[in-house]
Amino acid sequence: MTVTAQVCCDENKRLLSRRGVLGAGAAGALAGLVGEGLSTRLAFAADAGYTGDTLVVLSLRGGFDGLSAIAPIGDPDYYKARPTLALPKSQAIGGNSMFGLHPGLAPLLPMWKNGSLAAVHAVGQPNPTRSHFAAMEEMERAAAGTSLRSGWLDRMLGMTGATGPLAAVSMGNAMPARLLGGAFADVSMASVDSFSLAGEAAKRPMAASLRKMYASAPPLLAGPAQAADAALTATAGIRATAYAPANGAVYPATPLGNALKDVARLIKANAGLAAAAVDCGDWDMHEGLGTAVKGQRMYDNLLATSTALAAFAADLGPAGMGSVTVVTVSEFGRRVAENASRGVDHGHGNAMLLMGGGVRGGTVYGTWPGLAPGALVAGDLAATTDYRAVIGEILQQRCGFGALSEVFPSVAPASFGLAAAR
């Protein structure tokens, strides 16, 4: 029976929580597993038969404004709706006659030009809601209209056969609560270097005691404890050697930069990383979104995010990125019209970014519905593409999946041609 162990930071009552089947005794025994930092979940494929890409899911929490990041500069209604916040055509970088990249994405421009960065616009969820809580839950469950309670990344892992000691790892305290929820092993840590059993010392062998305690226990109780013990052992092997980014990569000293550096570290450690999910917040810009210049909130957030992603790509190098695909998701987009506070409120349609060696980039995919008042949905950009269909195309083209019904029920993968088949 597969069980799940989760180690949460700063939540002493949930340091080990049930994802599949978890005994209360195991929860108490592992209550000392701690970590702190940005939320990052990593899933390792124990099955050497998995040869697909490492899928890195970057969740832009708070409602990412895709209309700022990938601005529809060729749509005149964009400028009517955002008289002070719209990206001027003269400041757009990359893109084409319809779309322009925000200058805050400048660190990623080389990847746009070499074809390893793309965007998909007018994406969204079925049954849209402007509630952060409800939208995030549905984004991670990704099974609208069904009774499934697991997360889509957990279901994906089930199809890869990822059952090793580091089958899923979450770093930090802002964990995507449902994304990896389900039947597969799930451990939390602040970082590779900080992952340890609280209280462990030469005169206080906590891990050894834990091992003995559950040596003869039924699998239902022993599984989580043994999985956590194995994860500690595996991580200790990785951190035995200090990590130095390659190719001159310099990660920003931010939670996102630190998290992506650890993802790269685990990829290069050949630990069998199948998927990683990283959280990056502060996108809920009801006020002070700002113009496209340094010192303004959207500009600075985009610059910090793109700098971290560019360092990640440089660290792995072309060969490493050849087997990695990064996908951004957000619970919803922002409204088309700016508000009186020089911000934008909760909306619907949004943009996704895709980065990797197999991405056919340098372009914006999707069906653009336009921003004329009659084309909007309750004042929002209409979503013409289900975000799950975009991920589905990546799963098929880059991760070697066939049918996707177990991951995304009743969703057909997109056929944009946005990624080359492995």
Map out the domains of the chain as residue ranges. 38-166+273-398
pLDDT at 24: 27
pLDDT at 22: 28
DSSP conformational letter for 88: P
Amino acid letter for position 14 = R
pLDDT at 27: 31
Q: Which two tokens stand for residue 57?
A: 């899911």
Residue with tokens 């195991």: 26
pTM above 0.75, yes or no: yes
User: Are 70 and 95 within 8 A, CB to CB?
Assistant: yes
Q: What sign does the dihedral 136-308-298-380 (CA atoms) show?
A: negative
pLDDT at 196: 81
Three-state SS at 171: strand
Residues of the chain with pLDDT under 50: 1-39, 46
Residue with tokens 């719209």: 86
Amino acid letter for position 182 = G
